Amino acid sequence: MTTETTTTVDTVAAPATTQTTAAPAVAAAPATTTTAVETTSTETTTATEAAPAPQGAPEKYEFKPTQGIVLTDTTLESFAAEAKALNLPQDKAQALLDSIAPQLAKQQVDTFKIGRAHV
């Protein structure tokens, strides 16, 4: 890095040797300050680049079957509406569905059994 230093000398005050001594001291201070600012800028940029872009709910969820469990369209639509209201990204919504799918399927079977018992 090249630093250009301009020294203003009061014609009444300082001799030439004072100018020579003052110039390097003035030149050293800006170089140090500039280095600190550049380091800070680099750290800020790195932190910004490292942060993942925020994700939210997709326009439409595309759920994959969980462990061979088939859920009704009504169940999936209700789940998708709640996932969207919570602004869950696709992968988080799928993970949640995978974790509750066995219980949802059991409830569907129980509901079906109850309905058949009344026939």
- Which letter does DSSP use for residue 53 in this model? P
Q: What is the pTM of this model?
A: 0.49
Q: How many residues belong to the chain?
A: 119
pLDDT per residue rounded down to tens, the chain (119 residues): 554 544 444 444 444 444 444 444 444 555 544 444 444 444 444 444 555 655 899 999 999 988 889 888 999 999 999 999 999 999 999 999 999 999 988 888 898 888 888 77
How far apart are alpha carbons 109 and 23 in whole angstroms? 87
> Is 97:66 a contact under the CB 8 Å cutoff?
yes
Cβ-Cβ contacts under 8 Å for 104 (sequence gap 6 or more): 69, 71, 75, 79
